[in-house]
Amino acid sequence: MALETSVIQKKLIENFGLKVSDFFQQHDIFTFEVASDSIVEVMKFLRDDATLRFNFLTDLCGIHYPDYEKERQFAVVYHMHNWMDNVRIRIKCYLDGDKPEIDSVTGLFLSSNWQERETYDFYGIIFKGHPQLKRILNMDEMTSFPLRKEFPMEDSGRTDKDDRFFGRTSQNC
């Protein structure tokens, strides 16, 4: 591995100071946290810097942590990959539980467009500056954000399945 993780860490701290934090190696991926207001700058730097060269946004997804303190109840996770040195990193941005908002990275990677829409669809995380932020997988009329932990997996309006046959009676649930 040509690109050491310590180099990534040093370069990021030099340029962004306290905006980047909590660096650690988790299994084979170097992970760190970025303040949600500077994600676009950090990713642009990671992509364009001559030594870092993280040219590929592998994956983007959201997470819901209802048990955390309010400022950290949502997270957006970005996986980036440097194909030249073959290094992967994971970036986490924690967002506020009441008002999850983050800047869109569609200007940097075209692939993030639908992935951000999907994250919005699942978690209701607003990506500021996204060209067309609307639901993608679910129906437009839907009001809930289904992957938040408070929403049930099963359709609450079901009438077809008798709860008694699934071990769910009014006593036990």
Partner 1 sequence: MSDLLLSPEHRYAKEIEKRRNEDGSELSILNLGPTHPATHGIFQNILLMDGERILDGEGTVGYIHRAFEKIAENRPFYQITVLTDRMNYCSAPINNMGWWMTLEKALGIEVPKRVQYLRVIIMELARIADHIICSSVMGVDTGALTGFLYVFQFREKIYEIYEEICGARLTTNMGRIGGFEREWSPEAFKKIDAFLEEFPPIWKEFENLLTRNRIFMDRTIGVGAISAEKAISYGFTGPNLRAAGVDYDVRVMQPYSSYEDFEFNIPVGKHGDTYDRFCVRNAEVWESLSIIRQALAKLPEGPFHADVPDYYLPPKDEVYHNMEALIYHFKIVMGEVPVPLTEVYHPVEGGNGEVGFYLITDGSRTPYRLHFRRPCFIYYQAYNDMVRGQMLSDAIATLSSLNVIAGELDA
Partner 2 sequence: MSDTSKYKTVDAPEGYAGEGFFATKLDSVVGLARANSLWPLPFATSCCGIEFMATMAAHYDVARFGSERMSFSPRQADMLLVMGTIAKKMAPILRQVYEQMSEPKWVIAVGACASSGGVFDTYSVLQGIDKVIPVDVYVPGCPPRPEQILDGIMRLQEIVKSESVRRRSSDEYKDLLGSYNIK
Residue numbers at the binding site for partner 2 (CB under 8 A): 137-139, 144, 146, 151-156, 158, 160-161
Least Å distance between CB 61 and partner 2? Answer: 18
Does residue 137 touch partner 1 according to CB under 8 A?
yes
N-term to C-term CA, the chain = 53
Q: Under the phi-then-psi rule, with left for phi > 0, alpha for psi from -120 to 50, and beta for the rest, what region is 28? A: alpha
Which of these ranges, 32-40, 96-104, 145-153, 157-165, lies near partner 1 under the rule CB under 8 A? Answer: 145-153
Q: What is the C-alpha to C-alpha distance for residues 171 and 94, in angstroms, rounded to an integer?
A: 39
Q: What is the C-alpha to C-alpha distance for residues 30 and 24, in angstroms, rounded to an integer?
A: 6
Of the pair 126, 147, the CB lying nearest partner 1 is at 147
Of the pair 90, 148, the CB lying nearest partner 2 is at 148
Q: Is 32:22 a contact under the CB 8 Å cutoff?
A: yes
Which residues are within 8 A (CB) of 160 and not within 5 positions of it... i.e. 6 or more apart?
none
Binding site for partner 1 (CB under 8 A): 26-29, 31, 55-59, 61, 63-64, 77, 79, 83, 86, 88, 90, 109-111, 113-115, 118, 122, 135-139, 146-147, 153
